[in-house]
Amino acid sequence: MNSKRKFGPILAAMAAIAFVASACGGSSSAAGGSPSPTGSITVGGFNFPESSILAEIYGQALAHHGYNVTYKLNLGNREIVSKAIEAGSIDIYPGYAATDLEFYNNKAGEASGDPNANQTKLNTHLSPLSMVALTPSPANDQNAFAMTKANADKYHATKLSDLATIGDQLTLGGPSECPTRPFCQPGLKSTYGINFKAFKSLDADGPLTRAALTNNSIQVGLVFSSDADLTQLGLVVLQDDKHLQNADNILPIARTAVASSVVKDILNRVDAKLITTDLVDMNKQVGIDHMDADVAAKAWLQKNGFLG
């Protein structure tokens, strides 16, 4: 939901447009026509570290092949990033197959556990917007829900269906859009029959959610499946035993004006090598070891032979 990631605070439309227009690091040439390998491309990203890592991977791979790459990272949530790419303020961003599909189809419920089917359906919605989703990577980052080990033991909870009979004793925490997103609170109710005592608006799997779980002001919190610190923090991810979450494989979403055969080939080859364990490792490097996202991205690209 990402979404890692896939959620963030919803800002007013005018504020979002103003923020996108003024974001630093952009290049006015990025909104031009289809680039040659010496053209300009602006890569954008959501306001969480994994998105910055992936944006750097895509951007550095393109730069290695001669593109002039600029970045607009940490733009905000999907509402903001979608406005940016539709306006041409950015050219590419790292997306998530199921979450982007359900965003662009206005929650039509088309997403499934098949990442390739999600990509195909997503492109039917992106095409009228002059955008395209490229080939999904094997790497998958999905929304998940966690409890502290103490609460998981107390309520004998190992899977989400265990919460159906005790939801009225529990407070759910997550980003402000959770009460309206189909893979968050509404999905927990419709798929699992969980009616929570309350909802607490926090952040998207960030420090506020972590703190609220720790101090027990919430008992269930939204996290992301590729987080490297869950075990270290003593958090237990509840099994999604009724498969609420759909296949959220990572894939580049680009404006068709810049998605030349060369750009597609570069990014598809990069995505083919990107696996979930690599993503978890890079998230640990940035989130726990405090490595910069561009450094972690460069190391991955070098390891996989893309900067040789």
Residues 39 and 175 in one domain: no
Of the residues 184, 207, 237, the one at which a domain ends: 237
Residues 197 and 291 in one domain: no
Q: Give the C-alpha separation, 95 to 135, whole Å.
A: 11
In the predicted structure, residue 86 carries a pLDDT above the cut 90: yes
User: For the chain, what is the domain count?
Assistant: 2
More confidently predicted of 47 and 20: 47
Residues 115 and 257 in one domain: yes
Residues 123 and 106 in one domain: yes
Residues 27 and 75 in one domain: yes
Q: What percent of the chain has pLDDT over 90?
A: 72
**Band of the pLDDT at 204, cuts 50, 70, 90?**
confident
217 inside domain:
yes
In the predicted structure, residue 277 carries a pLDDT above the cut 90: no
* Burial label, 169 (beta-carbon count in 10 A; 0-12, 13-18, 19+): exposed
Residues 121 and 187 in one domain: no
Of the residues 204, 237, 270, the one at which a domain ends: 237
Q: What is the mean pLDDT of the chain?
A: 88
Cα dihedral 183, 176, 278, 122 sign: positive
How does pLDDT run across 49-84, given as a tens digit for each residue?
Answer: 999 999 999 999 999 999 999 999 999 999 999 999
242 inside domain:
no
In the predicted structure, residue 190 carries a pLDDT above the cut 90: yes
Residues 23/209/283/245 CA torsion (nearest 10 deg): -100
51 inside domain:
yes
Residues 170 and 208 in one domain: yes
199 inside domain:
yes
7 inside domain:
no
308 inside domain:
no
How does pLDDT run across 210-269, given as a tens digit for each residue?
Answer: 999 999 999 999 998 888 888 788 898 898 889 898 889 999 999 999 999 999 999 999
- Strands (E) located in 103-244: 131-133, 143-148, 171-174, 198-201, 220-224, 235-237
The pLDDT of residue 13: 37
Residues 98 and 18 in one domain: yes
**Band of the pLDDT at 308, cuts 50, 70, 90?**
confident
Task: Residue 261: give its domain's CATH number.
Answer: 3.40.190.10
Tell me which of 31-35, 118-122, 256-260 is least confident.
31-35
Domain of 220, in residue numbers: 143-237
Which residues does residue 131 pair with via DSSP β-bridges, in sequence order?
Answer: 255
Phi, psi (degrees; rounded to nearest 5) at 93: -145, 155
Residues 98 and 161 in one domain: no
Q: Which amino acid is at 18?
A: A
Q: Give the C-alpha separation, 303 to 308, whole Å.
A: 9
Q: Which amino acid is at 113?
A: G
In the predicted structure, residue 15 carries a pLDDT above the cut 80: no
Residues 46 and 190 in one domain: no
- Strands (E) located in the chain: 40-44, 68-72, 92-96, 131-133, 143-148, 171-174, 198-201, 220-224, 235-237, 250-255
Q: Model-level pTM?
A: 0.71
The pLDDT of residue 37: 59
Residue partners of 71: CB distance under 8 A and separation at least 6: 25, 42, 43, 44, 45, 55, 56, 59
Q: How wide is the angle at C-alpha 19 spanned by C-alphas 18 and 22, nearest 5°?
A: 85
Residues 131 and 82 in one domain: yes
65 inside domain:
yes
Query: What are the structure tokens assigned to 140, written together?
Result: 């998958």
Of the residues 214, 237, 260, the one at which a domain ends: 237
The pLDDT of residue 19: 37
Instruction: Tell me the mean pLDDT in the region 136-162.
Output: 95
For residues 55 and 104, the answer to whether their CB atoms sit within 8 Å is: no
Task: Residue 179: give its domain's CATH number.
Answer: 3.40.190.120
106 inside domain:
yes
Query: What are the structure tokens assigned to 155, written together?
Result: 């309520």
Residues 183 and 219 in one domain: yes
